[in-house]
Structure 1
Amino acid sequence: MEASEQKAVVAASSVPDALETSFGNEAQIEYVPYGRLCRSPLNVRKKAPTGIEALAGTIAGKGLIQNPVVHEMKGRAKVPKLGVCAGQRRLAALDLLFSQGRIPKDYQVPVLIVSDGEAVAASLIENREREPMHIADECLAFRLLTEEGKSVAHISALFGTSEVAVRRSLKLASLSPTLLDALRNNQMDFEHAAALALADDHETQERVWADAREPWQRTPRELRAAITTTEIDASRSHLAKFVGIEVYEAAGGRVRRDLFSDAANAGFIADPDLLHRLATERLVAASQEIAREGWSWVETRTRRDYNEMVVFARLHSVSREPTPDEQAELDALIVKRDAASDALNAYYDADGGPDEDEQERLEDAANTTSDAVDLYGERFETFDADDMKRAGAFVVIDSDGQLSVERGLIRREDAKKLAGGANAVAGVAVGVVTPKKAKPLHGEKLCRRLTAHRTAAIQVELARQPNAALAVLMSRMIPVVFEDVYAREFAEYAIRIEAHTSRDRLLIDADDMADCVAWKEIEGERGKWARMLPERTAELLPWLLAQEPDLTSNLFAFCVAATLDGTSDADRAHPINELADLLNVDLSYYWKPTRASYFGHVSKARIVDVVAAAVSPEAAADLQGMKKSDAAAAAELRMVDSGWLPEVLTNRETSERRSYSYINADDDADAADEDDETAATEEEPQSA
């Protein structure tokens, strides 16, 4: 029997036959004083009611629209109390109004009086059969109230909800009737409706929904993009952040508001040309201030182009000594920066599960405090006045919408003229200043995760080739057996293979290992061999000797592969790369850039850089204004099938082989002969 049929049978059997035809028909609505009402022990809803304040406000404003159901309570009073068996929230709201002095004890309440036998059934029927109002109908009801002249503030107070929620409901009510029917019939969800509500006219709303035939086209993000094809998302635009929405609107610009977004500057710029003009005007004003410092030239850019910047040589600046007050302020900023950096590193190194909000908070704190130190330090940077006449500056808008100034830039052609081919002119170094040692692109934990996946992929390939597995194991054993031949050369580049499985190590280093293609194949092979092997260790050798060579060679290949260990805590040369090249392993088949495998473990700036390089700068620009978690998810959609690999997995460098063994006299003679031949060959063109 279906669940719905079972419920129907239970409902039918739990209500007396008389109720099926007469319940509620014989009783009449009566008005009784509020003071006679009390809670009934026959009310089947025992959970404490919620939302009482809002309901009390509605009753105070509109009266009690729906009557409670009551029954007489047994007692000695001449006028018996009436127990509310259906309408617990309404009674709680009346109690609240009475406690606040807003209604008296004789406040008249409409009730339906039923017998004790009918009380439980009434409570059960009301609580079981009630269906919440659909959001589409609620939105239309709010619109009807506004058409009656009710303000948003009035509706908000009446229903105990925020004014933002009321405005969002009214916005949904502006959808075309066709789309409201689709929402009501569950052919679209709330997120779809919220995205389509960005369009002001019904024709556009219906066209965008009809044109979105594929599932990916019907994501809220794609629907918004289809509506705002020529507009700029203000929450993600660095120009909008730089200019300011208020300034743009004051200049006559129109913003298509997105009421359903909680992001700062939620909306879409309808006049990109005006926004760009306002940004340029502010840039020009800033560049005039910078020019007064004495630079030979000053140029402006609305977006930083790192490729353009690297072609310039740079002046060496001189840092003046800060005053005691400045040094104290700088020290305080450095302490905050170091504390934020330590907290972020501790989060990365922790073994707990990912907390995207906490990670984003720590990354923002680390970036903000680091920027504060750099910005404060710029005030101590000075240049020689004569040198400034040979150099210039760029005034640009960075990705966060902040004004950034790059001072002390020298064009290459000017640098060569001034230096006469040397590296310095008038004591000013023209070459680019040697940068500080860069922080590793990938931390130790992420390197172990990625190289664990690399190891699993090579294990799969190696298990398929018994001859290669034999060669790998022999290449590991021969230098040990013939130590006098290979001396100490062996240890530095040997592939690590020991008689222990690396299975647990890989699972620890990469918590997403169980979902990868390589691991599933390895585990499938492991299960196959486990079912074939004898259960007792004493039976293993006789069993192996009795098997066909093909079976033992394949089992041998799997065992060698399973002991392979190529994990590393840094992106460096590794012996396993030689094996990857010899087996021609395509790591892009086994590893995909996803939120779980990569983007959730790096900073948002790194995500943007990767998408810009692998997809396009335009695709990366969309990620700038997102939260870290949203940017990681969006990057996965753009890149999961791109074939992109992080540097750790594209690095096929192997350890350099150095020999530490002694060279005998014959080797010295051979080497000398080779040097003489080389010298003679080099001298031949000159003698000719």
Structure 2
Amino acid sequence: MIQSVKVKNLSLSNDNVRKTNRDTDLESLAANIAAQGLLQNLVVTPLKKNGSFTVKAGGRRLRALQLLIKAGTLPADHEVPVMVLEDSDVSIEASLSENFHRVPMNPADECTAFKFFIDKGTSAEDVAKRFGVTTRFFEQRVRLAELAPVVFEALASGTITLGVAQAYAVVNDVDRQARVFEQMGNAYHGNNPDNVRRSLLNGSVKPTDAKARFVGEAAYLEAGGRIERDLFGTDADASWTDGEILDALAATKLETAAAELAVEKGFAFVTPIVATHVPYDVERALHEYHAPARALTETEQARVFELTDANDALGQRLEEELEAESPEALEAEALYEANEAELEKIDASLRVADDETRAQLGTFLYISPDGELRTHARMFSERPIKTVSVGGQPDADDKPDTSGKLSVALMDELATQRTQILAAHVASDPALALDLSIFLMADQIVYSSAYIQYGISVTARPADMPIPKFRDEGSTASNALEDQRQGLDTSWAGYPTMTERFEAFRALDESARGSWIAYATAKAISATLNAADGYRANGFHDHLGRLCNIEVAQWWRPNAENFFGRVKKDMVLDALQDIGGPVLRGRYKDAKKAELAAACATLCSGGGIVEAEVREAALAWLPDAMKFGGIEKAGSSQIHYSFREPVVDNEDEDEDGNGNGPVIDTDTEPSLPAVTYDNFETVEAEVLAKFTEEEATVLAYVEEGLHGAG
């Protein structure tokens, strides 16, 4: 029996079979009821209270009606038609039947229906309101209705999923959609949305790209550039498809800025680089210049002391007295920053090249990752600017004349003794020794191509890499090292002598010197891998990596170019098994090598439609060689310790039977006693006794020749 009942007299039955997702998209349903009315009756049974009913089927519709009444869209006494059932068992069956036999509408049918209203001239907002959906949802469905016919037919027939169809809608070009669809039809993993998007957007640029940020959307569109909006993604998922236009705009803008900077600074050149870094080879084709720092004037020195003392006092107040974020604290912080800025300005003024030199200098202008102009921290010249020699040796006129006064043997002996005296003093002054070590390493990096007689064997020449001048331009590590290099303070490097450079280096603050020791040491590390028994294995490097808590996956990810495309197929399949077990491996076992490498790269970058645990494993996966998991093993040859007595084995008895006899290496000849004037003949006899007759003859011949030459 059908009758009208006020909504306020209806309540939800506990017998309704839908227990989950009751409130999903309830607002959309309410909007649809407000626009179309209640198109399907509620199924109810009467309660004992006269005029009240419990809803057995249509609980979501009831909640939507209550939502509309609460919002004031419908009156409080609004009535709706209901079907009244007397039997409770029958009502439960009706509830189950209504929910169980409901078939979701095919997305293609939704798209066609929505497009019908657009073709009639109805606005998107009106249609969305009428059907209780958002305008964005409506526009998404209409976009799908405008797919290339072959793609839309595949959606309608169920050949591709809604997600794949949405991937094709990332561009409006139906011809390109059709071409990619044909290509993907022949590919093993052609129904992967990520692969579809990648093929469609090949050569396009995201709005978050540095060049896009630098140029700006307005300028790009004004120049005729096209942007494909992804209705199924965010604004950041849009694609700028005209790369040539973007590159031309970026180059023009950079060239203009570079010309202005050259005039402003008086540089001979400012080279614009349409990239987020200066390529290694471009930089190395020039000569890096380090301006010698002048001394502070008395006025500047006094001002430096004044500012430093003021900031020390401000820092103490901020730390001990002032409350954070209070007006007094904010004022003190502002003054502190102003003083720091003035100190930096004074420091920068000490290293200004003269006009004649500046006219030979230049630098690079490039784009930062956030789309801002960035000037290279260093200056360069096209030809070497020779100031003075950096040899570190006194001029000939300064050398003491010792010719003919001291024998060679005596000079060697005196030099040794003098060096020992110097070494003893350096060894007793750790601060000086540390500064000296850092300076020598830093100086050898700055003057890596010069021959300088340092007279000290501490060295940190950059290690030879397997691929000279290799740099992975897009990697986090390469960019971090480049940022660290540009941040090094080279104000000391412009002085002509080692003495002046060393004293200027010592005058740097602790942080600046620390940056040099860190960078110099880092550049001295040789190339190694966690390769078992390989010549590149170095367990100590692995130990250092663990000490640094290095998360390699945060710094390097395997892709088709740097790994998967360059190893055997079995190794790629093994990686898939590590990530997702035999099931994932089996899914790709028949794929071609290129497709397999691309699929693995997608997984390891967080893409692909996979379970959450598989995605997590893929994002963490690394080849063993890149892990810091090796353990250092002792070498096969014996290490000789300079500061230790011979190793003693307590289990071997000595002459007294005390078990403290030394271990004798049977492969090593026993050492001979020290030679003195008293035992010379005895030792000589012992030595000669160890030679064969033939060896003794040769030795005698050599001795005779040496004595004759002497």
TM alignment of 1:122-161, pairs within 5 A: 122-158=94-130, 161=133
Deviation (angstroms), 1:120: 1.7
TM alignment of 1:606-621, pairs within 5 A: 606-607=556-557
Contiguous gaps of at least 5 residues in structure 2: 295-299, 320-339, 392-446, 451-490, 506-512, 523-527, 567-597, 609-613, 647-669, 676-682, 689-694
Report if aligned partners of 1:39, 1:83 keep a CA contact under 8 Å in 2. yes
| 2:85 alignment partner in structure 1 | 114
Deviation (angstroms), 1:309: 2.3
One-letter amino acid matched to 1:95? Q
Given candidates 512, 516, 526, the residue that maps to 1:436 is 516
| 2:352 alignment partner in structure 1 | 384
Secondary structure in structure 2 of the residue aligned to 1:83:
strand
| 2:214 alignment partner in structure 1 | 242
Given candidates 266, 271, 290, the residue that maps to 1:315 is 290
| 1:225 alignment partner in structure 2 | 198
Structure 2: how far apart are the matches of 1:173 and 1:650? Answer: 60
Structure number with greater CO (CA < 8 Å, separation at least 6) is: 1
Structure 1: how far apart are the matches of 2:388 and 2:47? Answer: 105
| 1:52 alignment partner in structure 2 | 26
Report if aligned partners of 1:54, 1:158 keep a CA contact under 8 Å in 2. no
1:180 pairs with 2:146: no
Secondary structure in structure 2 of the residue aligned to 1:570:
helix
Deviation (angstroms), 1:69: 1.8
One-letter amino acid matched to 1:393? T
One-letter amino acid matched to 2:196? L
TM alignment of 1:196-345, pairs within 5 A: 196-212=168-184, 213-229=186-202, 231-235=203-207, 237-262=209-234, 264=236, 266-291=237-262, 292-303=264-275, 304=277, 305-311=279-285, 312-316=287-291
Report if aligned partners of 2:289, 2:379 keep a CA contact under 8 Å in 1. yes
Structure 1: how far apart are the matches of 2:633 and 2:274? Answer: 39
TM alignment of 1:425-464, pairs within 5 A: 428-429=494-495, 436-438=516-518
Report if aligned partners of 1:607, 1:631 keep a CA contact under 8 Å in 2. no
Structure 2: how far apart are the matches of 1:260 and 1:252? Answer: 24
TM-score (norm 2): 0.52
Structure 2: how far apart are the matches of 1:170 and 1:220? Answer: 19
Structure 2: how far apart are the matches of 1:39 and 1:569? Answer: 66
Deviation (angstroms), 1:41: 4.9
Structure 1: how far apart are the matches of 2:126 and 2:197? Answer: 31
One-letter amino acid matched to 2:269? W
Q: Deviation per CA, 1:144-182: give whole Å up to 9, x if none.
A: 343344433345555565444433332222223443343
Structure 1: how far apart are the matches of 2:171 and 2:376? Answer: 42
Deviation (angstroms), 1:254: 1.2
Structure 2: how far apart are the matches of 1:245 and 1:325? Answer: 49
Point out the structure with max Rg over C-alpha: 2
Structure 1: how far apart are the matches of 2:270 and 2:21? Answer: 69
Structure 2: how far apart are the matches of 1:413 and 1:653? Answer: 50
Report if aligned partners of 1:315, 1:428 keep a CA contact under 8 Å in 2. yes
Structure 1: how far apart are the matches of 2:251 and 2:517? Answer: 36
Report if aligned partners of 2:270, 2:364 keep a CA contact under 8 Å in 1. yes
Structure 2: how far apart are the matches of 1:285 and 1:402? Answer: 14
Given candidates 363, 368, 371, the residue that maps to 1:401 is 371
Structure 1: how far apart are the matches of 2:315 and 2:559? Answer: 32
Structure 2: how far apart are the matches of 1:221 and 1:440? Answer: 43
Q: Deviation per CA, 1:563-616: give whole Å up to 9, x if none.
A: xx99953159xxxxxxxxxxxxxxxxxxxxxxxx99x74435x55999679989
One-letter amino acid matched to 1:234? K
| 1:88 alignment partner in structure 2 | 59
Report if aligned partners of 1:140, 1:173 keep a CA contact under 8 Å in 2. yes
Distance 1:210 1:652, change over 3 A: farther
Deviation (angstroms), 1:326: 12
Deviation (angstroms), 1:86: 0.8
| 2:16 alignment partner in structure 1 | 43
How many residues are aligned here?
461
TM-score (norm 1): 0.53
Identity of aligned residues (%): 25
One-letter amino acid matched to 1:52? L
Structure 1: how far apart are the matches of 2:672 and 2:118? Answer: 103
Secondary structure in structure 1 of the residue aligned to 2:384:
helix
One-letter amino acid matched to 1:404? R
Q: Deviation per CA, 1:297-341: give whole Å up to 9, x if none.
A: 21111122133324532314769969689979x999xx9xxxxxx
Give the root-mean-square deviation of aligned CA atoms. Answer: 5.7
Structure 2: how far apart are the matches of 1:149 and 1:566? Answer: 73
Q: 1 or 2, which has the higher helix percentage? A: 1
Report if aligned partners of 1:284, 1:300 keep a CA contact under 8 Å in 2. yes
| 2:36 alignment partner in structure 1 | 62
One-letter amino acid matched to 1:314? Y
Structure 2: how far apart are the matches of 1:326 and 1:93? Answer: 68
